[in-house]
């Protein structure tokens, strides 16, 4: 492992490590207005949904490295504490990147990036029509630490395009293509090919409840141990004993003639196969034959 102290790496270099390691980050395309109604639009990937009740999002413009000045978004929010977070999908990233150019204050990035403004219902800044989701927000607090202005805002109204909804009006993840920012100039767009489900166990038995030889298996991966450890309960002792008479297990025993390591190897390969078939129950019974 390479160990790095921020003060040794320097600000720029540590930023590169962090933005490449904490990735992908969701992107907020934030619209704001100043007191005179001039519109601004800028992307921020230091962004997340952090509070449930009330619904709270945060994003963090940092001062410009060139002259330590506040970005226009922060200047606007100090005048009008309202914003729309327009959510970003893979079809918008080139325009989003264009909107991040250092245009002078008062320049409308909707026009520069070619986005269409539509009026909001609860706040002054307009929404981006092309975005599949809009969060109308009231700013609660701007917390300043060093170069960062952490904007803490409450979502007062959310809009989601029909094109990402299922028949019950909920967001269908398979219809989304959310974009995320990674290190350097890299982006990620979610989609069918990159989405996978991991059911959350109520309270799994834990990897530590598995036989030690399974925990230390060179054949089973961390993910496979995670699936076994997520089982709601340990297999019944009788079922484990019974499974020992299974023809395949008996044949492993015969093939390996008491050589424990060889037996475990065959067994762990079988556990792997059963997990690949989605048969967790039998995989557990097989795992508990391990010596
Ligand atoms: C995808 C993307 C994400 C960005 N995220 C941030 C961020 O989280 N914080 C930040 O200070 N700048 C970020 N930037 C840079 C700002 O968007 C850029 O400085 C912009 O010009 C600020 O605009 P403003 O001065 O109009 O507010 C990001 C740029 C891009 C393209």
pLDDT, position 104:
87
Mean pLDDT of the chain: 96
Give the count of alpha carbons within 13 A of 104, CB side only.
1
How sure is the predictor about 105, in pLDDT bands with cuts at 50, 70 and 90? confident
Atom of ligand 1 nearest to the CA of 47: 8
pLDDT, position 38:
95
Q: To test the ligand 1 pocket, which listed residue (25, 27, 45) has its Cβ within 8 A of the most ligand atoms?
A: 45
Return the CATH number at 86: 2.30.110.10
Tell whether 150 and 217 lie within a shared domain: no
- Residue 102: is its pLDDT beyond 90? no
Which range of residues forms the domain containing residue 77? Answer: 6-189
Tell whether 59 and 168 lie within a shared domain: yes
Gap from CA of 61 to ligand 1 centroid (Å): 7
How sure is the predictor about 238, in pLDDT bands with cuts at 50, 70 and 90? very high
| Segment among 41-45, 113-117, 257-261 with least mean pLDDT | 257-261
Tell whether 218 and 99 lie within a shared domain: no
- Residue 258: is its pLDDT beyond 90? no
Tell whether 145 and 257 lie within a shared domain: no
Tell whether 19 and 93 lie within a shared domain: yes
Which tokens hold the place of 14?
A: 């540590």
Q: What is the mean pLDDT of residues 133-161?
A: 98
Whole-number CA gyration radius for the chain: 26
| Dihedral sign (CA 39, 43, 46, 51) | positive
Tell whether 143 and 250 lie within a shared domain: no
| Segment among 102-116, 154-168, 277-291 with least mean pLDDT | 102-116
Considering only CA atoms, which residue is closest to atom 23 of ligand 1?
42
pLDDT, position 201:
86
- Residue 291: is its pLDDT beyond 90? no
Atom of ligand 1 nearest to the CA of 105: 26
Tell whether 90 and 153 lie within a shared domain: yes
- Which of 290, 264, 286, 280 is closest to 224 using CA atoms? 280
pLDDT, position 123:
98
Tell whether 48 and 168 lie within a shared domain: yes
Our count of domains for the chain comes to 2
Gap from CA of 96 to ligand 1 centroid (Å): 10
Gap from CA of 163 to ligand 1 centroid (Å): 27
- Residue 106: is its pLDDT beyond 90? no
Tell whether 146 and 251 lie within a shared domain: no
Gap from CA of 85 to ligand 1 centroid (Å): 13
Tell whether 17 and 136 lie within a shared domain: yes
Tell whether 217 and 256 lie within a shared domain: yes
Tell whether 144 and 172 lie within a shared domain: yes
Last residue of a domain, one of 189, 220, 238: 189
**Binding-site residues, ligand 1, Cβ < 6 A:** 27, 40, 42-46, 60-62, 71-73, 96-97, 100, 102, 181
Residue 167 falls inside a structural domain = yes
Residue 197 falls inside a structural domain = no
């Amino acid at each position: 492992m390479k160990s790095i102290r921020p003060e040794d790496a320097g600000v720029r270099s540590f930023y590169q490590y962090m933005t490449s390691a904490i990735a992908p980050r969701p992107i907020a395309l934030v619209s704001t207005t100043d007191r005179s109604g001039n519109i601004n639009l800028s992307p921020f990937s230091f962004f997340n949904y952090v509070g449930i009740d009330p619904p709270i999002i945060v994003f963090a413009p940092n001062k410009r490295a060139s002259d330590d000045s506040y970005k226009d978004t922060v200047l606007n929010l100090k005048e009008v504490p309202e914003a729309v977070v327009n959510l970003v999908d893979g079809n918008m990233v080139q325009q989003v990147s264009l909107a991040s150019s250092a245009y002078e204050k008062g320049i409308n990035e909707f026009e520069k990036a070619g986005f269409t403004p539509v009026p909001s219902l609860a706040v002054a800044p307009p929404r981006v029509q092309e975005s599949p989701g809009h969060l109308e927000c009231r700013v609660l607090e701007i917390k300043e630490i060093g170069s960062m202005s952490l904007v803490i805002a409450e979502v007062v109204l959310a809009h989601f395009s029909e094109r990402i909804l299922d028949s019950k009006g909920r967001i269908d993840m398979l219809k989304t293509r959310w974009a995320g920012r990674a290190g350097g100039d890299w982006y990620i767009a979610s989609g069918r090919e990159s989405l996978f489900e991991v059911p959350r166990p109520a309270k799994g038995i834990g990897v530590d409840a598995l036989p030690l030889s399974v925990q230390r298996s060179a054949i089973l991966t961390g993910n496979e141990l995670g699936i076994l450890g997520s089982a709601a309960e340990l297999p019944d002792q009788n079922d484990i004993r019974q499974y020992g008479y299974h023809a395949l297990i008996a044949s492993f025993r015969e093939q390996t003639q008491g050589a424990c390591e060889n037996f475990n190897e065959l067994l762990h390969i079988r556990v792997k196969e059963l997990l690949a078939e989605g048969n967790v129950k039998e995989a557990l019974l097989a795992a508990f034959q391990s010596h």
